Amino acid sequence: MEQKGKWFVRGIKDGVPIGLGYLAVSFTLGIASRKAGLTSIQAALMSLTNLTSAGEFAALSLITSQAAYAEMAFTQLIINLRYCLMSCALSQKIDPRAGIGHRFLVAFGVTDEIFGVSVASSGRLSPFYSYGMMSAAIPGWTIGTYVGVVSGEILPDRVLSAMSVALYAMFIAVIIPPCKENRIIAGIIVTAMAASTAMAYLPWVREISSGMRIIILTILIAGAAAILFPIKEGEEEENDGA
C-alpha cells in the first residue's frame, strides 16, 4: 500500500504541469461550449467524461450544425483513434501484475500529454502513477471548461472574441513544431488545409456537413500519406531509441 501511495504522489507531481496547461486551454473550450448552447454543467460533464480537446471541439461544431448522432460518433472514432494506439503502447509499460480493471482505467485517462510523460518515464509503471496524473490533469480540464462557460456568460462579446484567439494559437502550437522537423508532415498539413478550403467552396461538395468533410479528408489524406510515405523499420527503431 505504501508503494502505491508513492506512485500516486509521483503521478500527481508529474501531472500538475499538465493540469495547469489544461486549465488554460479548456477555458477556450468553455467559451466555445457556451456559443454552442451548452450550460456550464453540461460542458463540465462533457470535459469530465471526454478528455480530448480535438474531439470536444469537433463535437461542438457538430452540435452547432445539428449533426446526426451517428455522424458525431463516427467523427469521434476517427479523431480519437490514436488513443487506441497510445493505450496499446502504454500497456507494455504497465506492471504485468496489473489486472484488466486497472488497464481499462488507465486507458480512460490516456491523453497526448499523459501518454508522453508516461512513455518518457524509465522502467515499468504502476497504474497508480497514471491515477496520480489523472487526478491532477482531469480537474484542470474540467474546471477550466466550467469557468470558461461562466465567464462567457459575464464577459462582453468583444473580450470573448479576443480570447477565442487562444484556440487558434493552440492549434498553431501543435502543428508548427512537427512541420519544422519534417517536410512531409508540413506538406500533408498544407494539403489538408487546401483541401478543406476547397471542399468548403466547391459545388456539391460544400453541401456535405462539416463533420462528414472532416471524416472524408482524414481518411483520404491520412491513407494516402501512409501509402506514399510509410515509416521504414530503421526509422521506427531510431524513434524508439530517441
State mean pLDDT over 42-62.
Answer: 88
User: Using one digit for the tens of pLDDT, what is the confidence trace for 178-203?
Assistant: 788 888 888 988 998 899 899 888 88
Each domain of the chain, given as residue ranges in start order, spans 2-166, 182-242
Kindly give, in sequence order, each residue whose CB lies less than 8 Å from that of residue 145, ignoring residues fewer than 6 positions away: 26, 27, 29, 30, 33, 43, 44, 46, 47
Q: Is the pLDDT of residue 236 over 50?
A: no
- Categorize the per-residue pLDDT at 68 as very low, low, confident or very high, splitting at 50, 70 and 90: confident
Q: Do 233 and 188 meet the contact criterion of CB atoms below 8 Å apart?
A: no
Tell whether the model's pLDDT for residue 66 goes beyond 90.
Answer: no
Report residue 86 as a C-alpha cell. 497510445
The CA-based angle 218-223-226, given to 5 degrees, is 125
Q: Report the predicted TM-score, pTM, of the whole model to 2 decimal places.
A: 0.66
Per-chain mean pLDDT for the chain: 82
What would the pLDDT profile of 140-164 be if each residue is shown by its tens digit? 999 999 998 988 767 776 666 666 5
Coil, helix or strand for 125?
strand
**Does residue 242 register a pLDDT over 50?**
no
What does the alpha-carbon distance between residue 46 and residue 42 come to, in Å, rounded to a whole number?
6
88-147 pLDDT tens trace: 888 888 888 888 899 999 999 898 888 888 887 878 889 999 999 999 999 999 999 999
pLDDT(239) > 60: no
Identify the sign of the CA torsion 190, 193, 196, 201.
negative
The three-class DSSP label of residue 94 is strand
DSSP type of residue 223: H
The distance in angstroms from the start CA to the end CA of the chain is 34
